[in-house]
Amino acid sequence: MNVLMCPVCREALSLTDKTWRCINNHSYDVAKQGYVNLHVVQHKHSKNPGDTPESVQARRAFLSGGFYAPLQQAIVEKIRDLRIENLLDIGCGEGYYTDAMQQEVMQCVGVDIAKNAVQVAAKLNKEVTWVVGTGATLPVLDHSIDLCTSLFSPIPQEEILRVLKAKAYLIVVTPAPEHLLAMREGLFEEVKAHEPHKFVEQLREHFELLEHPIVESVFELDQVQLKNLIAMTPYAYKAKPEKRLALEAQTKTQLKAAFQIYLFQKK
């Protein structure tokens, strides 16, 4: 079953000969890399929204080292337990988590606003329906999705409620309070703990919180790996250049990752 929605008229899209088309004849070609761009010009607020190509490449390089594999595995196991058919990954980025999640479902859609990220993701797994789109208007039909995931991405609550079936699920992953604390202390004069619980407050009215495990891992990075980690985070442009350079000069850096996972069910 196709779950994609035309972003112009909101009718269902169907795929014929590498073109997605709705009954009103709006059409969207599948790019040679294997994704479709449903981020129409009237929904754009900038020419190249989302992550920069440099950030995408840094994230691909860092994640390929397996440092966040414990989180990837925890998410995969949770999806396996839920036994769902279709999944929408909001803010899929370069596809590291989406690729793994697809193995556990019948249908997987990965959406990101950054075209350069989706271009990289589309080369990873041809079984995923990769889409350039915006969370402000998720290009997915009403009540068509069993599980939405948002890993370190925005949570467009109204749109998630629209696309989820009754009693369907939402998985949110966000940094736990101690996530990369040593790195943040090296980059900033004052470090505030992450506040993951704010998402629970935001979602309380329409979602029931079922589980809230924390996944932790400790790892050691060399200089190149640390540079990639910094470059893939907002810290890359928020930190003072001299502090960043001093941290990146270290031969080895030991860090602790701490991920807060929330599993919600739509009320």
In a domain, 122, yes or no: yes
Domain that holds residue 216: 34-266
**Domain assignment present for 16:** no
Output the pTM of the full model: 0.95
What's the number of domains the chain is made of? 1
Instruction: Extract long-range pairs of 107-114: CB within 8 Å, 24+ residues apart.
Output: 107/1, 107/3, 109/3, 109/4, 109/140, 111/135, 111/138, 111/139, 111/140, 112/50, 113/39, 113/49, 113/50, 114/48, 114/49, 114/50, 114/51, 114/56
Is 148 assigned a ligand-binding role in the annotation?
Answer: no
Q: Domain of 141: which CATH number? A: 3.40.50.150
177 in Cβ contact with 256 (< 8 Å): no
Q: Is 108 annotated as ligand-binding? A: no
Is 217 inside any structural domain? yes
Token code pair at residue 206: 């329409």
Q: Is 50 annotated among the ligand-binding residues?
A: no
Strands 214-222 and 164-175, bridge-based pairing:
unpaired
Is it the case that residue 172 has pLDDT exceeding 60?
yes
Kindly report, residue by residue over 209-265, the tens digit of the pLDDT: 999 999 999 999 999 999 999 999 988 889 999 999 999 999 999 999 999 999 999
9 falls within a domain: no
Query: Within a domain: residue 17?
Result: no
Does some domain include residue 52? yes
pLDDT in tens, 232-241: 998 888 999 9
**Annotation-wise, does 26 bind a ligand?**
yes
Residues comprising the chain, all counted: 267
